[in-house]
Amino acid sequence: MKIGFLLTSILLFAGTLHPCLAQFTLTGQSGNFLVPEARVIGDKKIAFGSSFNPQQEALILYPNRRGTHEIHNFVTLGFLPFMELTFNLTPIVDAPLDYGIGDRSGSLRFLLKKETDKFPALLFGMYIPLGTSNFVDSNFITGTKHFNLGGKELTLSAGVGIPWVVRTLIFTGFDSIDIVKKENNYQVGFFGSARWKAHKHLLVAAEYQAKDVNLGLIGRLPDEKCFVKLYTFSFKTVGFGVSYTGLVK
């Protein structure tokens, strides 16, 4: 009953949103699949979504569970023109009860510079320490530029992330501030992406991240609020997801 009430509430709320064109990564960042872009959704806007990630390419790597199916859920809020805030909850599909409700994380992204005719947009992203793990935590800077190719839009992004994060006592219970190395290669080192608008309702995207190449399709439904995506990570696995975004009035 509680789940049904929650789903009904989400659907009713989604119906009140006004269209807002944007697509998001598995973890709720503006982008395609795993690679972020230099873009924020803007003031008074909200997005939420869910993606299924297969075990071979799992991001959440708890001890003794090195790769299991996972479902990435996010809510992204834009309450200033230059900043967005994201909260993530990633339940592990076959996790025992002592793993709780899943991995929790949060992040902030700041648009440092808007795109111009000659120069790309620049964005800085940072995580919020909400838990003891750092699987989807990242600190990075990225740039994005749009090009018009015969009436078809091409979006190119490139950025770099550092392999270390700060572990603090905020929400974690640790009694010190430590700099630790990330537990996986998510948004570590150089990353980049390309997205081509093949049709009004179809986008084709490719990414490079952690020495892997990801490809996929992103479909925009006619209501201009909902995006669905189908992707492959390094041609090994297939995942899928859906996101919903809009303007709150």
- Helix-, strand-, coil-residue percentages of the chain, each rounded to 5: 10, 50, 40
Containing domain of residue 44, as a range? 2-247
pLDDT of residue 13: 40
Instruction: Give 237's contacts (C-beta < 8 A, 6+ positions apart).
Output: 54, 56, 57
* 201-209 contacts at long range (C-beta below 8 A, 24 or more positions apart): 203/23, 205/32, 205/33, 205/231, 207/32, 207/33, 207/34, 207/35, 208/35, 209/34, 209/35, 209/185
Whether the predicted pLDDT of 122 surpasses 80:
yes
Q: How many percent of the chain have pLDDT more than 70?
A: 76
pLDDT of residue 37: 95
Query: Mean pLDDT, the chain, as a whole number?
Result: 80
Token readout for 39 is 């873009």
pLDDT of residue 249: 67
The one-letter code for the residue type at 183 is E
pTM of the full predicted structure? 0.82
pLDDT of residue 136: 80
Minimum mean pLDDT range among 29-43, 44-58, 90-104, 218-232: 90-104
Q: Render pLDDT for 125-153 as a digit per residue (tens, 0 to 9).
A: 998 876 656 678 889 999 999 999 888 89
Q: Return the CATH number at 202.
A: 2.40.160.40
Nearest to 139 by CA among 203, 186, 86: 186
| Count of structural domains within the chain | 1
Q: Model confidence at 241, in pLDDT bands (50, 70, 90)?
A: very high
Between 146 and 10, name the one with better pLDDT. 146
Q: Are 103 and 130 in contact (CB under 8 A)?
A: no
Q: Model confidence at 1, in pLDDT bands (50, 70, 90)?
A: very low
pLDDT of residue 70: 83
